[in-house]
A and B are shown apart, each in its own frame.
Chain A
């Protein structure tokens, strides 16, 4: 018996073949991406090889300096500080958000009555724009005038210096981001859970497995692809964090919360106007993100066999 997909006459023309549709579907998107992204990217790469310092009157022309910017950044301890902060923040936030988001998705999936109501509330923070979330939490976490410390003082906990203590500042930002973006994970995992067929779980239940065993042996493997998708995308966005830092601490105290994009911004149009150097920092940081994603992708492929 012939497999269904290969029952195509060999004389069939290209038009109407699967490959044709494949290209038809892909090429327009690629054109858009290419036009919008390729030129700025190439221009950016070229700029990174130049010294283009608007602060000293060079805005009209750049000076080609080859790889000097890249050599300089190796010795730039502020850049490495920013990278360290970024990875610390990303790791912590990813763990918190994945656990919280998956828990929320599981809870939402297990109730029928009221699930739409709860889902709306749990996703709600996503609808707040990042600048509002940042300014809001800055007010909430103010050591003396903030509502959070007021609530804590009611149960006897003294004033916590959330955003001005260099040890607490990144956990505080993790808290803000977790409140704000966990909904992304929840949505993806929930959609994944709800697209799963019922039978495997039914079969397991009939076989006498309890809820925990069903979760670990049936549900978890089935949603693993969704977990990885969510994790990788969240990681990419976490690494690129900017607005929350810009709106709350501005990188302080003493650069304890200065993340990579913020440092790139401060070296570039946000401060020193060393546009060439700032772009080389951005390119290098992009490379770090790529490496991280490649590692994560590799780990996701090595998951349990089918």
Chain B
């Protein structure tokens, strides 16, 4: 799958490079004012994408004559409001930021969100210059529900892949040549060195997510790295086979979990409670030598002198390979539309505009994770070269990291508990065996075996 993806990507980059130079920004004969006078309500999560887009909303209002009311919230409040809103008969918003494995799946199950294929294909509703194919197919597929053959329920807006960040100065001081670190074991050796040298100076070797509810998403990357080319079912990921039998005692899964526990033990005090914020902030404050399995979008913040003390000392690397495989995962946000919105056409105009080529070009600079091939082609040179190399390599070896099915949240919580127990030194066979049992119970409680 990874090779095919790479070929498709290469082809689309080529096609995009040609099309960008050939076509004008907006086709002249598309009627942007077809929903003039209406109001579209948008609910967004605080994110670099949102911050950049909000500045340009007046452009949209001028272009279409549609009034936009935006509410942007921090993550915790965002999830609650999105869920409550979608469940109501009259959601207080029309367009919202969509996470495929969380709100997306639940939304689809409950009929809360609108499929968008009809709008994309309708020439009267979609500008010819929109160029939907320019958006990476594998990201779009993540928003197809219930499987990758289903309808599209969200348009991707940002993309992140899970990789490694490291302190170039500290590694140089220890005489470690990062390009020579090819495998996980090589890196672990380097971490030992860094740990011995800097731990007493208050710099931990590793910064990584702990009991964050989203940690299982990144953990999928660690597991994929050991999984190799074996098949797995898309939404169950590696953890359940075709008959819903749990596979937590599979050697690859166990090695992935154990690696995570090992990395946690290289972490600073308090790492057990680390969320994405602590992970990036600890590194930005110079208190960690590496970040493992976390989002490429951190690159923006780590290079901002107002937030980071390590500007200019940041190195990037793709996840190193293992004896059994080499892989990571990617994930992304999207924009969705509520099924009960009274202004669907106007909402579609907004979504279209916010995911257009111009928009992606603008937001891609802030997110370091654009979703269009044309944008990568245009921006590739502005990112730090090592980042582009690491991100390229990561995308080549990555698979979509979306786990969703009834009861997925409970399984995710049990996974977090298991990793913490492994960190505390409990016997892996016992811990993973119990996780298998718990997972089997959850499968049964949710009647997943049809």
Contacts and interface: CB of A to CB of B under 8 A. Distances in A.
Whether chain A touches chain B in the assembled complex (some CB pair under 8 Å): yes
Interface of A: 53-60, 142-145, 159, 161, 163-164, 246, 249-250, 252-254, 269-273
Contact of B268 (A56, A144, A270): A144
Contacts of B110: 54, 57-60
Given A54-B87, A60-B111, A164 B410 contact: no
Contacts of B213: 250, 271
Interface stretch (B57-65, B76-84, B148-156, B326-334): B76-84
Given A270-B80, A272-B409, A142 B270 contact: yes
A53 B287 CA distance: 43
B87 A164 contact: no
A271 B76 contact: no
18 contacts: A53-B406, A54-B87, A54-B110, A55-B406, A56-B109, A57-B111, A59-B87, A143-B269, A145-B281, A145-B282, A145-B287, A163-B273, A164-B273, A252-B272, A252-B273, A271-B213, A271-B413, A273-B106
B111 A56 contact: no
Contacts of B271: 164
B273 A249 contact: yes
A163 B87 contact: no
Nearest to A269: B83
A50 B202 CA distance: 53
B405 to A, nearest CB: 9
A44 to B, nearest CB: 16
B276 to A, nearest CB: 13
B36 interface: no
Contact of B80 (A53, A143, A269): A269
Contact of A143 (B270, B413, B417): B270
Contacts of B106: 54-55, 57, 273
Interface of B: 76, 79-80, 83-84, 87, 106, 109-112, 202, 211, 213, 268-273, 281-282, 285, 287, 406-407, 409-410, 413, 417, 420, 446
Nearest to B281: A145
B112 A252 contact: no
A214 B80 CA distance: 54
B231 to A, nearest CB: 26
Given A161-B270, A246-B76, A269-B84, A253 B211 contact: yes
- The 5 closest A-B CB pairs, nearest first, are A57-B109, A143-B269, A143-B270, A59-B110, A56-B406
Contact of A254 (B76, B281, B420): B420
B269 A144 contact: yes
A142 B287 CA distance: 13
A55 B420 contact: no
B294 to A, nearest CB: 18
A161 B269 contact: yes
Nearest to B421: A254
Contacts of B409: 55, 271-273
B394 to A, nearest CB: 29
Contacts of B269: 143-144, 159, 161, 164
Residue with the greatest number of chain B CB neighbours at <10 A, chosen from A143, A246, A271? A271
A87 B52 CA distance: 46
Nearest to A58: B110
A184 B285 CA distance: 38
B270 A163 contact: yes
Given A54-B110, A142-B270, 7 more contacts: A56-B109, A144-B268, A159-B269, A163-B270, A163-B273, A164-B270, A252-B211
B273 A253 contact: yes
A183 to B, nearest CB: 27
Nearest to B406: A56
Contacts of B285: 145
B115 to A, nearest CB: 15
Contacts of B282: 144-145
B267 to A, nearest CB: 10
A54 B82 CA distance: 13
Nearest to A144: B268
A250 B273 CA distance: 9
A272 B273 CA distance: 21
Given A56-B446, A269-B84, A144 B287 contact: yes
A60 B112 CA distance: 10
A270 B202 CA distance: 36
A246 to B, nearest CB: 7
A53 B407 CA distance: 10
A253 B112 contact: no
Contact of A55 (B76, B79, B80, B109): B109
B67 to A, nearest CB: 30
A284 B79 CA distance: 26
A42 B413 CA distance: 32
A143 B281 CA distance: 14
A272 B213 CA distance: 12
Contacts of B410: 272
Contacts of A246: 76
B268 A143 contact: yes
A175 B413 CA distance: 28
B333 to A, nearest CB: 20
Contacts of A60: 110-111
Contacts of B270: 142-144, 161, 163-164
